[in-house]
Chain A
């Protein structure tokens, strides 16, 4: 399977995963959206050296992976390109900031190293929590939640259409790459000299398809705003989830759980 085909399949798999019959998936999208935003704010607002608190907040994604019966390994595989990039963010901190922060088994932990580890942990957790939202809520649900919190219609529609356009573009890229490889047997990849014309034709074809899809939407009454997924009300279970998760995240944010547990043994 080519990389393009793989990427397309992964997008389709995430969409399928988000539509499974799991209780987390069945929760109201607004509730999951709000919990995710609250979690992101909680993680990001931790101090630059507050590694233990950030690590304590890792309990939320792990808990949700378990509850939603999602594979942590699959998540790491799908995020294999993003996660290393996130980890690179603070790579120069240990060189620039060499103040000793603590000593551990004869090893001096510098504030630079600490801030780098904190940044890495923050990056990984924010990416994982966003992945969890995408894997438990269809894109349309996320858009509905965004509209419910009054994010401008234009931004939400752009977000939705870009998501759709990505799959169309990957679909066209897959067809082009297959057509090329069938007429260039034995050649590894696509020759650099062909990249320009292939990319151009791929863009034009995917734009043609995108405009036809857009026309199909307009013909079915689309006027720039997505109707809500369902006019379903927020049920008691949604409120319970919101309250429990909100309280849990707030607790992990305010109380350095890992430091307290560590204190018991020291």
Chain B
């Protein structure tokens, strides 16, 4: 059995007292897991991810990352292990050039400049953005920004990769590229998405959230074919798993 990277027990979170966003969420994530967190809007997907990375700390229950309890004092240690890619790449990239942004993390961890150079090259190579080092961020397309934002995280060589809606606003080519990058990342990854086809292509385990609770945790093969459960949770079968007739009947192309 592989090593447990993340352990979440009875996690409850509310922005306002009466309205719980997460209610007693419990799961563990192991080294090789590729977990897709799915659910309708407001199900608590992004909140869960933001808690795991320590952006929201006022939760009840416990979260342990590689056996380190998640709390304010342990944040620097935990953040060295976790890489988080924001939904909006514009909010993740803040430096003047691609190189500067990808080098920001490694430099903050005090790595020597030679190692920073090596990591930047490797990260850009992984996302197929070599040659973009000097390009100003504001001159990148949406898809390129997304890939660079992933490179900014890969350059920190995290043990765990968290991504919020990674396939949003990507064209088919960049989407395929992203699927390849994720499938090549051989550590724990946790993604949130409405794009069930993307989840189907990248994840080995699916957690379905509904009204702040885990409704399903298991094999994608099972849940992504379960039309009834998906529809009850405000989702639809992935397009790749539906027949032409089913698509026509549901009004989808």
Are A223 and B84 neighbours in the complex by a CB distance under 8 Å?
A: no
- Among B83, B90, B108, B138, contact of A222 (Cβ-Cβ < 8 Å): B108
- A157 to nearest B CB, angstroms? 13
Distance between Cα atoms of A102 and B109 in the complex (Å): 64
* Interface residue SS majority, chain A: helix
- Among B96, B107, B152, B156, contact of A139 (Cβ-Cβ < 8 Å): B96
- A238 to nearest B CB, angstroms? 17
Q: A213-B91, A215-B55 are in contact. Are A220 and B156 (CB under 8 A)?
A: yes
Q: Contact mask A189-205 → B, CB, 8 Å, 1/0?
A: 00000000000000000
Interface size class of A (residues with CB under 8 A): 20 to 34
Distance between Cα atoms of A139 and B84 in the complex (Å): 26
Are A216 and B86 neighbours in the complex by a CB distance under 8 Å?
A: yes
Are A164 and B96 neighbours in the complex by a CB distance under 8 Å?
A: no
- B110 to nearest A CB, angstroms? 7
Q: Taking CB as reference atom, which chain A residue is nearest B83?
A: A219
Distance between Cα atoms of A15 and B100 in the complex (Å): 13
Q: A15-B96, A16-B136 are in contact. Are A220 and B108 (CB under 8 A)?
A: yes
Residues from chain A with Cβ under 8 Å of B84 in the complex: 219
- A57 to nearest B CB, angstroms? 31
Are B88 and A212 neighbours in the complex by a CB distance under 8 Å?
A: yes
Within 8 A of B (CB), among A128-146: 138-140
Within 8 A of A (CB), among B52-83: 53, 55, 76, 79-80, 82-83
Are A221 and B96 neighbours in the complex by a CB distance under 8 Å?
A: no
Are A217 and B94 neighbours in the complex by a CB distance under 8 Å?
A: yes
Q: Contact mask A143-172 → B, CB, 8 Å, 1/0?
A: 000000000000000000000100000000
Are B136 and A15 neighbours in the complex by a CB distance under 8 Å?
A: yes
Are B86 and A12 neighbours in the complex by a CB distance under 8 Å?
A: no
Residues from chain A with Cβ under 8 Å of B156 in the complex: 220-221
Are A19 and B96 neighbours in the complex by a CB distance under 8 Å?
A: yes
A74 near B: Cβ within 8 Å? no
B97 near A: Cβ within 8 Å? yes
- Among B82, B107, B136, contact of A227 (Cβ-Cβ < 8 Å): B107
Residues from chain B with Cβ under 8 Å of A19 in the complex: 96-97, 134, 136
Residues from chain B with Cβ under 8 Å of A212 in the complex: 86, 88, 91
Q: Taking CB as reference atom, which chain A residue is nearest B54?
A: A219
B197 near A: Cβ within 8 Å? no
Residues from chain B with Cβ under 8 Å of A12 in the complex: 136, 138
Distance between Cα atoms of A230 and B120 in the complex (Å): 14
Are B53 and A216 neighbours in the complex by a CB distance under 8 Å?
A: no
- Among A139, A220, A232, contact of B104 (Cβ-Cβ < 8 Å): A220
Residues from chain A with Cβ under 8 Å of B55 in the complex: 215, 219
Q: Contact mask B91-117 → A, CB, 8 Å, 1/0?
A: 110111100100011011110110000
Residues from chain A with Cβ under 8 Å of B94 in the complex: 164, 213, 216-217
Residues from chain A with Cβ under 8 Å of B82 in the complex: 219
Distance between Cα atoms of A215 and B86 in the complex (Å): 10
- B119 to nearest A CB, angstroms? 12
A103 near B: Cβ within 8 Å? no
Are A231 and B108 neighbours in the complex by a CB distance under 8 Å?
A: no
Known: A16-B136, A216-B91, A227-B108. 13 other contacts (CB 8 A): A12-B136, A12-B138, A19-B97, A140-B96, A209-B91, A212-B91, A213-B94, A215-B55, A219-B84, A221-B79, A221-B109, A223-B108, A231-B113
List the 9 shortest-distance A-B pairs measured between CB atoms, nearest first.
Answer: A221-B108, A220-B105, A227-B107, A212-B91, A216-B92, A15-B96, A213-B94, A221-B109, A231-B113
A residues near B (Cβ < 8 Å) are: 12, 15-16, 18-19, 138-140, 164, 209, 212-213, 215-223, 227-228, 230-232
Offer 12 A-B interface pairs, CB within 8 angstroms, sorted by A.
A15-B96, A19-B96, A19-B134, A138-B100, A212-B86, A212-B88, A213-B94, A221-B105, A222-B108, A227-B104, A227-B108, A228-B107
B residues near A (Cβ < 8 Å) are: 53, 55, 76, 79-80, 82-84, 86, 88, 90-92, 94-97, 100, 104-105, 107-110, 112-113, 134, 136, 138, 152-153, 156
